[in-house]
Amino acid sequence: MTTPADTPPIDTTPADEPPIDTTPPKDVTPPLAAVLLACTRDPGDARTAAALRAALARVASAPPGDPGWDALADAALRHGMSGLLYRRVVDLAYETVPQAVLLGWRQRVVAAGQRSLRMQRELLQVLDGLEAAGLPALAFKGPALSQQLYGDAGLRHFIDLDVLVQPHQLATAREVLLGCGYRDTLPLDKVSLTLLQEAEHHMAFTHTETGASVEVHWRVGPRFAADSLPADALFARAVPVELLGRKVASLGPLDLVVMLTVHEAKHSWDRVEGVAAVASALRRLSSEEA
C-alpha cells in the first residue's frame, strides 16, 4: 500500500510555453467594406490614412472576377458614401486610385454637388418665407446636416428638405409653404391639422413646379417614441450653420447625435453612411457634452 510519504512529488516547474504570436491578425473584412469603413474614421488620425490605403490596395490587387473599382463605386452609391469616398481618397490616398477611376467618381460627386446647390437655394427660400411670417425655424438633416458633419453641404445624399417649427405655429407654416408654391403631399380633407399634430411628427409638401419635397416637423422623431425631441428644447440648444454664405439655425451637437442614432436605428443601420454620420457627430461633441 502506497503511503503519502511514498507518493512522488508533483513537478511544479512550468512547462515551456510557445512564444506569443505578435503577427497582426489577417484582415478578413471584404475589401469593399474595408474601404467604406475606413472612410468613416477620423480623417485627422494618421491611422485612418493607413487603413484607407491598405483597403484600397486590396481592391487594386483583386484577381480577375473579384469586385474591383466599379463594384466599389456601386457599393459607395448604395451606402450613401460616394461623396465621402471621393473626398477621403483625394485628401488621404490620392495616388492609390487610378486617375481614370477618380475622374468617374468626381463626375458623380459634381452632379450631386450641383443638386445640393439647387436644394440649398430652395431651403433658403422656404426659411425666408417663414421668417417673413414671423416664424423661427431650424434647418436639419439635408444640406445643413452634411455641412455640420463634413464641412460640405454636398457630400451627404438627401432627397428632401426638413425644417422644424414650433407646434403652435404649424398652421401658419403650412400657409407659408402653400404661398411659396407647395401643396400638401397628403391632402388634409379627411383629417384635421390638430389630429395630425397629435398623431404624427411632420407633414410633407411638394412644390408644384420643381417637384422639390419639404417636410415641416414639430418634433424630431416619431410622436410617441421615448426618444422624440420636442421643438422648444431643440430651439433652445440650436447652433448656426453656414449655407451659401448665410447663417441658418440647426440642431445642437447633442441633439444631432440623438437624432442620427434614432434615425439610423429605425432603418436598422442599413447604410455605412449612417455609421459615418454618427461617428462624425460624436467627434464634434465637446468634453463636457460627451
Instruction: Determine the pLDDT at residue 166.
Output: 93
pTM of the model: 0.84
Q: How far apart are CA 144 and CA 135, in angstroms?
A: 19
121: number of Cβ within 10 Å: 14
Q: 217-237 pLDDT, tens per residue?
A: 998 876 666 567 888 889 999
Does position 24 have pLDDT exceeding 60, yes or no?
no
Q: What is the Cβ-side half-sphere exposure of residue 116, based on CA atoms within 13 angstroms? A: 23
The answer to whether 31 touches 58, Cβ cutoff 8 Å, is: yes
- Quick one: pLDDT band at residue 3, thresholds 50, 70, 90? low
Instruction: Determine the pLDDT at residue 6.
Output: 62
Residue type, 143: P
Residue with cell 463626375: 107
Q: Which of the residue ranges 18-27, 67-76, 155-164, 200-209 would you say has the lowest mean pLDDT?
A: 18-27
Query: What is the pLDDT averaged over residues 120-134?
Result: 96
Does position 111 have pLDDT exceeding 60, yes or no?
yes
Among residues 26, 42, 50, the alpha carbon closest in space to that of 84 is found at 42
- Mean pLDDT taken over the chain: 89
Which of 15-29, 105-119, 217-231 is predicted most confidently?
105-119
Strand, helix or coil for residue 62: coil
Angle ∠(157,158,162) on CA atoms, nearest 5: 150
Query: What is the pLDDT averaged over residues 116-142?
Result: 95
- What is the share, in percent, of the chain residues with pLDDT greater than 70? 87
Query: Does residue 3 or residue 127 have the better pLDDT?
Result: 127
Does position 266 have pLDDT exceeding 60, yes or no?
yes
The answer to whether 82 touches 108, Cβ cutoff 8 Å, is: yes
How far CA 113 is from CA of 102, 188, 206, 210, in Å, comes to 16, 35, 21, 18
- Quick one: pLDDT band at residue 91, thresholds 50, 70, 90? very high
DSSP 67-127: --HHHHHHHHHHTT-HHHHHHHHHHH-GGGS-HHHHHHHHHHHHHHHHHHHHHHHHHHHHH
Instruction: Determine the pLDDT at residue 268.
Output: 85
Among residues 145, 216, 147, 139, the alpha carbon closest in space to that of 180 is found at 216
Angle ∠(269,271,276) on CA atoms, nearest 5: 90
Instruction: Determine the pLDDT at residue 198.
Output: 78
Does position 187 have pLDDT exceeding 80, yes or no?
no
Q: How far apart are CA 52 and CA 121, in angstroms?
A: 34
